[in-house]
Structure 1
Amino acid sequence: MEKKFTSDEVPLGQLLDQARSGSLQLPDFQRGWVWDDNHIKSLLVSISLSYPIGAVMTLRTGNPDVRFRPRPLEGVDLARTVEPEVLLLDGQQRMTSLYLALRSGNPVPTRDDRRNKLSRVYFADINKCLDPNQDPEDAIVSVPEGGVARTFLGETTTDVSTRDKQVASEMFPLGIVFDSEAKGAWQFTYLEHGPGTLEERFGKWRRFQEGVINAFERYQVPTIELAKSTPKEAVCQVFEKVNTGGVSLTVFELLTATYAADDFNLRTDWDERSARLTEHTLLERFEATYFLQILALLSTFDRRRRHLADKPGDDKPPAVSCKRRDILNLRLEDYRKWADQATEALSRVVRFLHAEHIYKAPDLPYATQLVPLAAIFAVLGEQADGHGIHQMLRQWYWCGVFGEMYGGSTETRFAIDLQDVTAWVLNAEDEPRTVREAQFQAQRLLTLRTRNSAAYKGIYALQMKRGGRDFRTGNTIDIHAYFDDAIDIHHIFPQRWCATNGVADRIANCVVNKTAIDAHTIRRMGASAPSKYLARLESNERIEPADLDAILRSHDIDSVALRRDDFAAFFNTRFERLLKQIAEAMGKPVNRTADRSESPYADSRLGAEHVRSSIQAVIDAQESKVAEFKSTGRKNLATGEKDPAIEWGVVKTIAGFMNAHGGTLLVGVNDQGGVVGIEEDFPFVSKRDQDGWELWLTEVVARTLGKASAAELSVQMGQFDEGTVARIDVGPSATPVFATTPLKGDKKPKFLVRINNSTQELEGQEALKYQRSRWPT
């Protein structure tokens, strides 16, 4: 009986040479090459460790009854038409990836896990390859075409763009592993000029040659070859049975098969949990892999904790990790031990994020950040619900978002954050690395234009949390208003108005010119100037101008500038307010230029005049729900002396605005709108000038309302003929603010609210009712 197939082991280099020459090609019915960067890296790691990568299947050509149109592997450039000797039926994704990475001589055109196009070159980190304590997955490095890897801020992290830089970094380019001449030249340069002594370099190279390069050169690929006499029907049937579309089994599928041996149906268990979790709109896209990562974190965290309890001081305890191998090592007893705790923790994570006004899966800044957050909640248990700890978790969360720390490879950060955050909370250790390392550049606001960005989504949520009110109804946007009124992000100055009035698209479309608006209002706005659509809203919805001003201020919108269609004044004010919100959420200042000129409208030629003009506009609009005038900050004009009651009047107004929906306080202007000037206060402040006056304001607000409130103030000084006017812009607070009076004999904290044109104190049930309405979550 004629043998239908043969099996043998073929050197990897031989197969790649066959692909290069065209003697090994694909049948045209094969699907395209689809592997992403992570798949390619994982395959190269397996080769470097001499691990099996599975057999390939080929078909010997020459049967006149079995003729398929051939095509070369991806990346193979044949100068002429070549009739192949064999066709590759199974193993296309692996062989194409290996050819592109090791033999093509060009960067590999691949994708990341979000399907974004990449161009990559692969290197072996010699030191990590030789270190038995290093994860082999980290020893093979993917670098952008050109050899330079940079952070989001443009800082270079890896530069292997030349052979000398590769040698200095001890990063061997895998693309030359089968090119004897190029490999010899690289080896010569390394031995001649590499780091360390010649003896160290020689010893290191010898071990690298034996352990890694030889692994590639001597690698044998199990190959099943179908005889050329195999009929076409049989070839198609074999292909359909062996081909999996180029997608490897997921860890979930592999664990499902593993647990099945113990009569446990992982898929059924997950489907039941997933059905409960996705009742929360926030978790409707939550993946099984995320859940397994949480379990791996908890399992390895517990293993490390128990090890250190038994062996305190051990300098090499088991690592906390949730990489693929850690998930595959999850025993069934581990799954059963942690699955319920992880499920319950995810429900508590939903409550945490709802409190931050993140309600839907598309609005999550980073879906991946759910993994460490849920693990942290599981470890902390009920302690996570305490106010102080909640605030610590909130700071860590927003540092991750605005520092854009979860945009790349994340498994390592998951493990770091779980350990850092729990140690920070439970043992009062140093701030987590994510908090320390997170930075937000002020000019980043100008580049946040779509909801693809985590920081863009974060600003959206912060705006709503601080009490953003629905434009039409005036109600605070809570979870019910969010869904019932179809709240979405929209332009404040419409796009068409911006185009007509010379506002660049990049400015018109950035997050500074957007806020949460309901669908009904968006239709009312159209493409009109703000002054016109505000008038329509007032008329059609029967909103008093003062009430609409308060609604606008709840979104940190300067109502006076908006009503004047003054885009520059509006933009500058809101730009500064958003930066303060981000700084408050992160618990640290944003990064700014020395002259604070990041806004395109912060030009010094406009600055002083714009401030004076904006103050005059507030004066002309008179006092209202969102504007109040004070002649002085400390001096009693009747007695000529410093008066704590005058100081208390300033504090009361600021607290009232914060507890309402924000506003503007002008100091140096009397009730009739006449300029008095803050110079009247100079004899009663330390430096007797504007700087001394602003220092006094910051100190008194910090002392009576808290440092966080002091940091929230935006202060500008406008020069008039009669004197200097201080414009103090106050944003709505994300939480209730209580004031401690500087007056003698009265130290009870007071809850103050701006109601109509005055600031009033609320107590008891009246205060509680207001707070529940103002801060629904």
Structure 2
Amino acid sequence: MQSIKDCFDLNEENKLVLPDFQRNYVWDYDKQRSLLASIFTSLPMGGVLILKGELKEFAAKELCFLKELDISEEERSKECFFLLDGQQRLSTIKSAFSDFFYDRNNWRDVWDNLYPKLKTRWFFRIKPRIGEDDIFGWDKLTFEGLHTLEPDQVVEFIEVKNILKTKDLDKWFHPGYTPKDENGNNLVGNKLKTHIAKRAAGDYLVPIYSVYQSPSREKERKPLHESVLQKLANERVEELQAEVADGKKNIVDLLSEVEPDIGEYYENNDEHEIRNAWSMLAAKWSEKVNKFLVELIDQDIPTIELPSDQISRAIAIFESINSNPTALDNFDIIVAKAARNDEGGSLSLKIHNELKEEIDLSDALLHYIIGEKPSSWSPQIMGTLDNNEISKTVKKQFLNLLSIFSHYTYGNDQSLKIDHIKKKKHLALNHLQIKEYTNLTLEALIRTFAFLQFRCGVIKLSSLPYELMILPIANILKEDPFWNDKLTLDKIEYWYWISIFSGRYRERQNEQCIKDIIDLHDWVNNGENRFKSWYNSILNEAGYSSKDVLMLRDQNHEIPSAIRTSLLQYTISKQPYDFLPNGSMLYLNSWDIALEKEIEISGNNFNLKVQDHHICPLHEVTKIGESTAKLRNQKHILNSPLNRTYISSYANSKISSKSTSEYLTYVSNSSVRNHFLPTPFEERYKKKSEESTVDYYNRICSERYTKIVDAIKDELDKLNPINSY
């Protein structure tokens, strides 16, 4: 059993720490206030689970702070307790009762390192508002505690002030507040504290952030909250004396508890004893409230302590008691393990920084690029960072690839198993393996992201049809000779498109991925092409990518999102022209779209964004009897991916009111290059007099299906010209 204060002391001494696989602090102010109300009313705050170990076992942090502990090699061998459960609660309470900003010269550095929701100072309000209970006995300066109250009677008295870095520096509660004396000099030391205490008392707010006094700091003789309480008590006594003089209150009723003989002193007009009694009333009330505050952090916390031999099960234990509905991220555990490396530093920060860096692109990668070829590229434009955090896809595939590189030796196919891309193998990685393979893994992943964008039309990583297809590619591109070899990249692209469009990844993706890691690497090393048997299944796999599915004639199967996305990405990979008027040419390519590159067309400037465009517009066919509601139905043939392509939002605004035949005439013939549209446009996209509406829709989609299939197969033949079928 530990008290709240004991936990804080241990945390200050790096003896109770947060393992770095713990979630970030996430509680909002209402949830924090609710917990504090429970603490104020002596309700149980819940237990904590701690694991005995040594600091070297995991990267660790202090409660409330983002930054990992900076500890020496000697300290790393010291015993500690890892907090497995109770972080949100303990962090809330420590933040409320501790003054993180006590060093006024360093408060900005502290502010930078605190979790956003903990950049605060907490108070309780003494004076009740109209209609509120007088829970602190302000009216007569009588206080008996809050243990008989419900939290909802207390919660409105607990107030928080958000500490901003550049605003509110003129507010007394702000650590940057610098009032001056009558001579224009900054108040410091006790004069400053006295000034702040007076301002706090004027607002009837008692700071609770001075209640806990850290062992590492010299304890204040009179913490700020005590000074505020004394000022409040003295001021209230003056008010009560005036109320007695006005006949509004009875002096005996007010003072009999602190001085039983007050009635006699009052009758005898003994001013000395009466003054003493008033002073005693003020002192007793402030002492009681102060004692109440100190005892809040003396409350015991039920503690479950696990012995050090349970470290290997720490993660499983954490997950079993973690109430967060989001499962613990294996990536966080690997980051914590990696901190044991001699090089130190944060693995997550390293990955984050690498994802922002530019890399040199190989000539082999850019071989087929039309127009200007970029020489360098940064993976962050693909969305590898999500709100400046490493994306889930990157985290997951980093772990998978790290595990594969750590366990798999090429040529020993039996050494690679599905287990290597599962949680158990991830968590079995030790810090030496992490250290050895991190750089290789990162380089392979980043090269793979570049390949997917420049060869496969993937604009954002989040739109990748099958994440696991990253792994066979990365396993090849980890090797410099392959990264710089056009024939190798052609084989990878062949494998990618044939796998996507034939449905090889529609089921049992883990198993398919592991098999492809071996087979693709073997083929690249002049082995056998084991993927050619899928050639005839391209956009012809029943229930997945067949013509019946794509034209919505298969009543038992939906069009997979992977196929919808991949058809758009394949088109973009061919760098088609935008749908612009004659004389205006703009290549649509994935890297410029991802960058939202600024474009100038005929004096108009815009940022390049694409829209999923209906080639035969929905508004056109409403003229021939179809209702808008029916057309918006995803089951309608015009919502088939065979009637969709990417064009810029700028182009879409120019043609939005035109019919298909009108805008296809309006744009140049070359502008629809590589959109795989049946030609001539005026003939193919005009409804024939003998055609029913349904026949017209089916014809234009069927003709485009043929165009796309032929284009994909022509592409594969070019990528692997020695292929035989």
**Is TM-score (shorter-chain normalized) higher than 0.5?**
no
Structure 1 or 2, whichever has the larger Rg, is 2
* Higher-RCO chain (CA-CA 8 Å, sequence separation at least 6): 2
What TM-score do you get using the length of structure 1 for normalisation?
0.39
What TM-score do you get using the length of structure 2 for normalisation?
0.42
**Whose strand proportion is higher, 1 or 2?**
1
